[in-house]
Amino acid sequence: MASTYTSNIGVEKIGAGEQAGAWGTTTNNNFDIIDRAINGVLSVGVTGTTTTITTSDGTLSQGGHKVLSFTGALGADNTVTIDPNDQDKVYIVHNATTDAASSGPYNIIIRQQTAGSPDSSKDVTVPNGSFKIVHCDGGGTNAVVTDITSTLDIASLKLGGTAVTSTGAELNLMDGGTTVGTDAVADDDGIVTNDGGTMKQTKVQTFSTYFNQNLVEAKNALTVSGTVTVTPTAATSVYQPLTVSSGSQTVRVAVTNLVAGQYVIIDKTTTANSMTIDWTNDGAVTSSGISLGSSAELGIGIFNGAGFSFSETVKF
């Protein structure tokens, strides 16, 4: 009885009474085939647009390896056909190719079907630099290759000892989902933020406090002696408390960093002495002579994008 071969990796099954005195050579070859099928890694240099990986019965062939690593410089996608089309295979595929035309990078496409008009949905595309685990179903001319990696279901994944409980929908949202909901925001809801490279979740109340504090730049109290200029240090409204040291002094308010709609409040906090406010635009006085008298008063200027268009004194 002649030898036969296993269906998927071509291990030789010696026929009864065959290969007397030579069966050891065949057996050792079989072990090498099995070794490749379990952990064998093949580096395949590819060029052009097509490549064939073949498994031959009883031989140490390319298709008998578990890992297929494709190298070489490509100027277009390369379609790799797994031959024959009736063998059931599972491969780990690595696209380690480089870009020959400076217009890539390019894909490795794993195919087993040999029909006249190949159906791309039955192929698996491995992008440059990526690994995929693929299953070739051995279905003949219409054989299907499936990306096992894309449908992998891991029930208890841990990263750094912490169980990952995210759903696919949650991960997709973090990746930039385009569907925006209208759920109401309430106290104790969380906002995810990047804190110096560490992602954290913080309550909305904390953000509210922070934003409110930073709507207005509250400057340190200022004692005015001679002409001084109050300059916003960022694109926020400004509150400047001050006292006048003696007599009547001048305060100039700059538009630096402001955007339209923001304001500057000059708060003369004591009843002693008096002052004049000049609202300026990059050093040019646009409105002058607004006086705050010996009573405690406020001066408010609204920035219109070019200068201060409105000012007010409020007396107590």
For residues 313 and 295, is the Cβ–Cβ distance under 8 A?
A: no
* 11: helix, strand or coil: coil
Please name the residue that has the structure tokens 């607004």.
290
pTM of the predicted protein model:
0.56
CA-based angle 40:59:10, to the nearest 5? 80
- All residues at 6 or more sequence positions from 33 whose CB lies less than 8 Å from its CB, including other chains: 9, 10, 11, 58, 59, 60, 64
CA dist 187 and 203 (Å) reads 7
Quote the distance between the C-alpha of residue 15 and its chain's center.
Answer: 58
CA distance 142 to 138: 9
Place of tokens 């705050």: 292
* pLDDT for residue 123: 97
pLDDT of residue 316: 61
pLDDT of residue 282: 67
Helix (H) or strand (E) holding 296: none
pLDDT in tens, the chain (316 residues): 689 999 999 999 999 889 888 889 999 999 999 999 999 999 999 999 999 999 999 999 999 999 999 999 999 999 999 999 999 999 999 999 999 888 889 999 999 999 989 999 999 999 999 999 999 999 999 999 999 988 777 667 787 788 888 877 888 888 887 788 889 999 999 999 999 989 899 999 998 888 877 789 999 999 999 999 999 998 899 999 999 999 999 999 998 889 999 999 999 998 889 999 988 876 667 666 688 888 878 899 999 888 888 888 887 6
Cα separation of 101 and 96, whole Å? 16
Helix (H) or strand (E) holding 244: strand 237-244
Locate the DSSP E strands across 41-164: 41-45, 50-54, 67-71, 73-74, 78-83, 89-95, 98-99, 108-111, 124-126, 131-136, 145-147, 158-159, 162-163
H-run or E-run covering 38: helix 23-39
